[in-house]
Structure 1
Amino acid sequence: MFSSSDYAPEGFAGLPGMHARGGRMFKAQYRCYSVTMFTDRKEIEEGGKIIMPPSALDQLTQLNTQYPMLFKLTNPGTANTTSHCGVLEFIADEGKVFIPYWMMQNLCLAEGDFLNVESAILPLGNYAQVQPQSKEFLDIYNPKAVLEASLRKLSCLSKDDMLKIAYNQKVYQFRVLKLKPADAVSIIECDLSVDFAPYVGHEEDERQQQAERQKRVHPLEQAAEQLRISEEKRIEKAVREAVEQSGGFKVFHGAGNVLDAGGRGAKKGRKRGKAAAGSGGASSAPNGASTDGAAENMDSAEPRTRGVPNYNYVKGTLTFARVFPKKQDLDKEEDASFNAFGGSGHCLRKRRR
């Protein structure tokens, strides 16, 4: 939000009747030239006001034109090309007007072309949406404040106008997309809300950024992939060396180990071993290896008790298993050590014979 102010042009401040509305409208045709051909004042080129001849001031005074004076500019060669502006001074040569060069570009005018100028009454604006023509303007610090400060130099805005703002030795362009409450509004002494539309070319930039994100791999993911590949190569090399040292690859070669040595599997294994020994001695495995060694290992293995898993285990902690005697074992120990009325008695007084 910002509030802009305008001042009366030099030479007519305080004239009577400037705030009254006249029944007729001012309209004239002049040859237009850029402001740089009249003066070197940079603020005039960056603003949105024109310099008119003194005769225009006389006509406007007689017509009781409403103040602040606003004008509609039309290119007679292309009637659809219009814009709006304010007036700065009435000191131009007769038959000529001097306007900022960026306004001449909007109106498609060259030096010395004819320009129609007519008075206009515009409502106060309350909303404006502009579109930056490049992404560079959005990269500066607080671009909205820079835009609002530049708009204070203007008197009015027209839809589809191309504004030029000079900041930090660079010139940025903006196109006016939306205006409220009309397509042409006055921004003198008003609260105007300014909004930015996506800059020109943002869709192409978004597609390029998305393609780059897809191609770009996170450093951690890349390192993990390299570690996985190196680990696979190391394992493959170790297996190859082991096969070469053993003299070749043998199917199902090696000794077996029983995990449940004291459970049902061990008992069944011992029974199979005894049955094989009773039926005809040692039996052979598919690769020719004897199973007597395995049977002897199972027979000689000490029976183990199956443990109970800790369902309350917490990751990252150590749990020390403690085996407590069962209640039945405690009862047996008490029975073995305690015998009711099993002691010997003593008498304090001997019996008489």
Structure 2
Amino acid sequence: MGLTSTELIDLVLDAETWTSWDTPPSYGDLPEAYAADLVRARERAGTDESVVTGEARIAGRRVAVVLSEFRFLAGSIGRASAERLIAAVERATREGLPLLAGPASGGTRMQEGTPAFVQMVRIAEAVTRHKAAGLPYLVYLRHPTTGGVMASWGSLGHVTVAEPGALLGFLGPKVYEVLNGRPFPSGVQVAENLFAHGLVDGVVPPDELAGLVDRVLTILDLRPEKSPRPAEAWAPGGPAGGQCGGVTRGADHPAPRGGRAGGRGEGRPRGRPRRPTRATSRRSTPGTRSPGPGVRTGRVRGRCSGSRPRTSCPSTAPGRASATRV
């Protein structure tokens, strides 16, 4: 078993900068056996749930952090821990913070069944909105990370690195053996093998994680004083937003010159004459016939939003939508 969440906080984050965002979990009515399991888990782990969230500084840079605590029911995610995770991700998005996740989990909490399993969708949606706001999401896969956690928020990082020797995969080896009657091949579900096959970006010891996070965020040039775009400006149909080619245009990225602010782009770029189609050039040339039935005339249709001229279709570079000026 790897480091606890407390040990990882002490090792990776700047000293005395950790501030918890957690509030007491709420469960409602629970079966007696499950309630007893939670009491024992708290005593063993020293935490009130399987996830701890908060903020700290890494190399002086403010960062939001979500960490699993494997000693709490194998880091399993139930409804209460999912709500805590989602609240932390959404707060990081609102406050424009990069997010570092350190999962170590067997997956969803079996005591809660399907309601726990579907929480993975909500967590993945929150992470996706965070990334759509142009904010970094970095993942450190710890030993072990399997099941629904690996398949959702453990697999969505812009940069994903893993702890040396960590067991990583969807189907755990014990479950595989029960289902197939034979052990899982050795050396497959380990961090080093996933790195060799391009499934993670690196294998990094915990004591080198802080330096890696600092380098990544330095490359991305995300400084604490920089304000990211509001997340709502990236939501489909958000304020002042139009769409072109599936990319939402926010208020800070207006429509191209000659196009409408709503994103339909019915106009032409200023200062350039309309390029005639074959039909219009025939009709405008003296002595030629008018086009026959079925021949379309008028402007040339672009490939973006149905009618936008190609020269004004925005680029679709990941993380932003910008208009090509002509």
| TM-score with structure 2 setting the length | 0.21
| TM-score with structure 1 setting the length | 0.20
Considering fraction of residues, name the structure with more strand. 1
Structure of greater relative contact order (alpha carbons < 8 Å, 6+ residues apart): 1
